[in-house]
Amino acid sequence: MIDLKKMSILIVDDMDNMCRSIRSMLKILDYGSNFRLAGNGKEALQILRQFSVDLAIIDWNMPVMTGIELLDNIRENKELRDMPVIMITAEANSEIVAEAAESDIDAYLLKPITVQSLGTKIEKVIEKANHPPESIRLLKEVRNLIEAKKFDEAIPLCKQAIEADPRSSRPIRTMGEIFFKKEDIDLAERWFVKAAQMNHLDVFSFHHLGDIYLKRNDLDKAFRFYEKAMKISPRHVDRAINFGKVLLQKGKIDKAGTVFENAIRLSGNPMELREDIGTCCLNTGAFNAAIAQFDIIHRQFPKRLDIMKKLAIAHESTSNPREALAYLVKISEKDPDDFDVHLRLARIYVAMKQTFRAEEILQKLQRKDPEHKEVQRLIAKNL
């Protein structure tokens, strides 16, 4: 049980005066006995790893790590995830409402904050934490069973949660999640559709419906549901990547690029994400988009031969042999045993009618693999 007067409170806001103002209000209310302040999400996570906290009051919009990114980290941590969180925001638009539902924000508080509004919100949140509704209690048990992969045990409990709160889409979408993880996507689809019909901001259900149709290779429906999810809540990196990949497969390269850049901006590991995006672009024939991503990586990691090779392949595929050649020559000097690189070099030299250079490489390749069909074809073409 959390004691209103004795609880430990974490206040997170990049504006120091706002942190201090909230702390002053809490002292007026006589709520909390221990206060910790953080200027961004990363600082807050360090505090949460070191100290016990009963309630977090977090600003939505912060540099370094936003409030919603901090909340995602909290909810993914088994030791922290049940901690009540109040999110402070300047406006209650549909994106904030959707993300509040998806990330299990206990409450959000609109600026400007008053002593009365803060006190009322905290009282409700702590009362709910101390005496959770039956549906919430059941869903926590369901969550633990899902994590233990005890799906058949989770189903009857989830049905009880639906009966306990029949007007909420959350237990219904949780049932969809159970069947999705059981890989019964037909039943998962039914539950997610029902949840989405009940709550048009249930972004979790729209996202998973996109996943289901992507699994079925139904790109039109996958596109439609990912697009709905992105319009409601555009800050989810994995969702953006999946949506971007569907856009690529549908030939909407420019729109995919915009979605990918937004995901990179939100990502904590942008170079790794750029590589994933670049490889996806390469595999789907969006060669110029692939070059744009690999160029950025290459500038930061100029010694990575695998990135140079992908750049060479992309340039070769866009009928830009001289750019491809420059990368392939560098790779061949560092890795003289890479058969594929030398084959690509030979192919370009033959196309450029540089007969002697092509012949030298082709002879070496033929000694390594006398039966290689493309080597034989290039030798005949180079005569």
- 12-63: pLDDT as tens digits: 999 999 999 999 999 999 999 999 999 999 999 999 999 999 999 999 888 7
* Euclidean distance between CA atoms 89 and 111, whole angstroms: 6
Question: Does residue 69 contact residue 98 with C-beta atoms inside 8 Å?
Answer: no
Question: What's the topology of domain 8-131?
Answer: Rossmann fold (3.40.50)
| Stretch(es) of the chain classified as CATH 1.25.40.10 | 132-199
| Cβ atoms of 130 and 266 closer than 8 Å | no
At residue 283, the pLDDT reads: 92
In terms of DSSP bridges, do strands 55-59 and 85-89 run parallel, antiparallel, or are they unpaired?
parallel
pLDDT exceeds 70 at position 94: no
pLDDT at 98: 58
The ranges of the chain annotated as CATH 3.40.50.2300 are 8-131
* pLDDT at residue 103, rounded to an integer: 58
Give the burial string for 48-57 (b: 16+ CB within 10 Å, else e). Answer: beeeebbbbb
Which secondary structure element, helix H or strand E, spans residue 10, and what is its range? strand 8-12
- C-alpha 220/C-alpha 250 separation (Å) is 8
Comparing CA positions, the residue from 329, 364, 363, 360 lying closest to residue 344 is 329
What percent of the chain has pLDDT above 90? 68
Confidence (pLDDT) at 97: 59
**Averaged pLDDT for residues 171-181:** 97
Which tops the pLDDT comparison, 183 or 233? 183
What does the block give as tokens for 292?
């744009």
Look at residue 234 in the predicted model and tell me its pLDDT.
67
Cα→Cα distances 313→44, 328, 348, Å: 44, 9, 11
Please give the pLDDT value at position 382. 85
- Give residue-wise pLDDT tens across range 289-307: 999 999 999 999 999 999 9
Using alpha carbons, select from 113, 118, 110, 44 the residue that is nearest to residue 80. 44
- CA dist 105 and 85 (Å) reads 6
Tens of pLDDT along 245-292?
A: 888 888 888 888 888 888 887 776 688 889 999 999 999 999 999 999
What pLDDT score does 268 carry?
Answer: 64
Mean pLDDT of 149-169: 95
User: Which phi and psi (to 5°) does residue 85 adopt?
Assistant: -130, 130
Residues 169/205, Cβ–Cβ less than 8 Å: yes
What confidence score (pLDDT) does residue 96 get? 59
Which helix H or strand E contains 157, and what residues bound it?
helix 151-164
pLDDT of residue 235: 64
| 3-class SS of residue 220 | helix
Asked if residue 91 lies in contact with residue 99, where contact means CB atoms within 8 angstroms, the answer is: no
Task: Kindly tell me if the per-residue pLDDT of 100 is higher than 70.
Answer: no
What would the mean pLDDT of 126-150 be, rounded to a whole number?
94
CATH number listed for the domain at residues 132-199: 1.25.40.10
Q: Cβ(32)–Cβ(8) under 8 Å?
A: yes
- In sequence order, what DSSP letters do the residues of 84-144 get, joined into one string? -EEEEES---HHHHHHHHHTT-SEEEESSP-HHHHHHHHHHHHHHHHS--HHHHHHHHHHH
pLDDT higher than threshold 80 for residue 95? no
**How large is the greatest C-alpha to C-alpha distance in the chain, in angstroms?**
91
SS3 letters across 315-367 = HHHCCCHHHHHHHHHHHHHHCCCCHHHHHHHHHHHHHCCCHHHHHHHHHHHHH
